[in-house]
Structure 1
Amino acid sequence: MNGKIVGIVIMVSALIAGLGLYYLQIYGFYREVPVADVTLVSLTSQEPEPIAAGAVQAIDADSSPIRFRACFTTDLGLPLLTETYVLVDSATPRNAPGWFDCFDAEALGNEIETGTALTFLGQKNIAYGVDRIVAITDDGRGYVWHELNDCGEKAYDGTVVGEECPPLPSSLSN
């Protein structure tokens, strides 16, 4: 009898812990955030410049610098954008929580692969080792996410970052 009670307590505790973990990962840490501007890095100045963007929706979480996701629309065409802003060759859209339904990473990845969407550098080092990536489709839909750059991948996996990377902030080096 005592064994059954212990087993039930363990099962109920595991279920509660699993549900809590699921909730925290999908809902708990995220919050909607205002976005002042959608920016792209200029080919001439190498600085982020705001672009025309409407219907901006964005979410973020303090738990990780790569949880940011945003969606927007723009009237700017891809030919103008490619002549003006820095393209990114190998960007991979990161999954967003299912409830943030404007951001479908799989569909966006397919559009990038087929060439109906292009990826641009939105801002370099938005957080240490993290770049903001902006994808824009040929019909004017835009998507934003954060992705680790070379320094970030090295810093977060424990590899020596080397001289080409800026100094690691003291909050990350401890």
Structure 2
Amino acid sequence: MSGKAVVLIILAICVIAGGGLYYSLQYAYYTTVARNTPAADVVLTQAQGGAVTEVPIKDFTGIDANSSPLRYRACFKMESPLDTLVKAFQTYPDPTPLTAPRHFACFDAKKVDQMLKQHKAVAFLGRANIHYGVDRVVAVSQDGNGYAWNQLNRCGRAVFDGQPVPQGCPTPPEEK
């Protein structure tokens, strides 16, 4: 076999493997969150008492995956004014929107992060420990657009980095 043929075969394998990797990262594990399921309910944690309350929304679009608790993303329109939400619900101290796959165009993590940093949006605690060490964060912009994602909290960051469980954190679940 000539050197050119070997190089072409290697290049073809690389292109196919690269395409497979791209597909698996962007599409393979994600599923659409149906509107009539609990995963589509947008909840916020009350500032007084810490109760979790479902809030009215419209135009919900969401994706999730079983492969990781951090793959949840959602976009929606909040029906309550932002100033009402700020008075009633816990804000989230260090929101970090996680990048969504390209096909989920409504969730632009850089744009959401920029709105949060410019105080054009506010992040709220949706539900603490929706999975061990993972909080659901809900950001709402001044124009009522809402975005939700799952984010590691301090307990999750420590445990998943192999560090001891921080004081005040629940015991992590046993590994399967």
What is the distance in 1 between the residues matched to 2:54 and 2:11? 52
Give the gaps of 5 or more residues in structure 2.
Answer: none
* 1:10-59 deviation per Cα after TM superposition (whole angstroms, max 9, x unaligned): 22222211110000001111110124421000112212110111111100
Query: Greater CA deviation, 136-145 or 158-167?
Result: 158-167
Tell me if 1:96 matches 2:100: yes
Aligned length: 172
* Secondary structure in structure 1 of the residue aligned to 2:75: strand
CA distance in 1, matches of 2:85, 2:168: 29
TM-score by length of 2: 0.91
How far apart, in 2, do the equivalents of 1:170 and 1:106 lie? 35
* 2:18 alignment partner in structure 1: 18
Please tell me the residue identity of whatever aligns with 2:30. Y
Report 1:37-116 matches (<5 A).
37-116=41-120
SS in 2 for 1:102: coil
Q: What is the root-mean-square deviation in Å for CA atoms of aligned residues?
A: 1.5
Q: Which residue of 2 aligns with 1:147?
A: 151
Deviation at 1:5, TM superposition (A): 3.7
Verify the 8 A CA contact 2:155 2:169 in the aligned structure 1: yes
Structure 1 unaligned regions, length at least 5: none
Structure 2: distance between partners of 1:30 and 1:77: 31
1:119-166 CA deviation, whole Å, 9 max, x = no partner?
A: 000000011100000000111110000100001111111111244221
Q: Distance in 1 between matches of 2:26 and 2:92?
A: 28
